[in-house]
Amino acid sequence: MRRHAEVLGLLLLLVISAVSFIAWIIVHGVSARDQPTAVEALLARSLRHAAIPRSDRALVNPVPFNEAALEGGRMHWADHCALCHGNDGKGNTEIGRNLFPKAPDMTTSVTQNLSDGELFSIIKNGVRLTGMPAWGASSHAEDDQTWKLVHFIRHLPRTTADELDHMRSMNPTSPMKQRETKAEDDFLNGTDALSSAGESAPSTHRKEPR
């Protein structure tokens, strides 16, 4: 009899929670523009932490840290991750700040306190119901790439202005932007359509020899 009452109480609690959740969604809407509340953020991070097996969280980075590994991570980051996270990892990009949850500032202790294994698992498997995609295939070579990204994430709080400049040249650009850049370079080098058509380009088109 007592057991029945407990099950009934639990069911009632579940129904009340579900109805409250639906009512909350109706009142607040589903806009991604809002900032998650502190409670939502804490709950989501705790659930994510609990959902990553302890053995995965304890994994140690098998790729030795050196300049080549860091450069590998840096290139990969600029090419695939900076779109949301920014070259500096602060998440201050058009996409990053308009997602729900937002792309976090990964230079702070919030990210830096996660273990290497937890970072690896998040990159490899992504995070369900967020904008964070799963990146790693199961091949070992892909795992090495992911571990290099973990090295780069550890380095994020120390990126320099020169480094960020170098990364900008590795960020993906659209074919239209590439054509514009090429046209500008050709113009500055005096190899644009005008000069290649045999006409002499005005001297301002040419780069002075150094």
Residues that bind ligand HEC (CB under 6 A): 44, 48, 80-81, 83-85, 95, 99, 101, 103-104, 106, 110-111, 114, 119, 122-123, 127, 130-133, 135, 149, 153
Distance (Å) of CA 165 to CA 78, 87, 159: 11, 9, 10
Cβ closest to ligand HEC, residue 113 vs residue 203: 113
Shortest spacing between CB 147 and ligand HEC, in angstroms: 11
Q: Least Å distance between CB 209 and ligand HEC?
A: 42
Measured CA to CA, the distance from residue 14 to residue 20 in angstroms comes to: 10
**CB-nearer residue toward ligand HEC: 69 or 122:** 122
CB of 33 to ligand HEC, least distance (A): 14
Minimal CA–CA distance to 159: which of 30, 70, 26? 70
How deeply is 113 buried, as exposed, middle or buried, from its count of CB atoms within 10 A (0-12, 13-18, 19+)? exposed
Element (H, E) at 175: helix 175-189
**Going along 64-197, which residue ranges are E strands?**
none
The CB-of-66 to ligand HEC minimum distance in angstroms stands at 19
CB burial string 68-80: b at 16+ within 10 A, e below: ebbebbbbbbbeb
Residue number, 53 or 133, with CB nearest to ligand HEC: 133
Q: 168 vs 207, which CB is nearer to ligand HEC? A: 168
Cβ proximity to ligand HEC: between 131 and 190 the closer is 131
Shortest CB 188 distance to ligand HEC, Å? 33
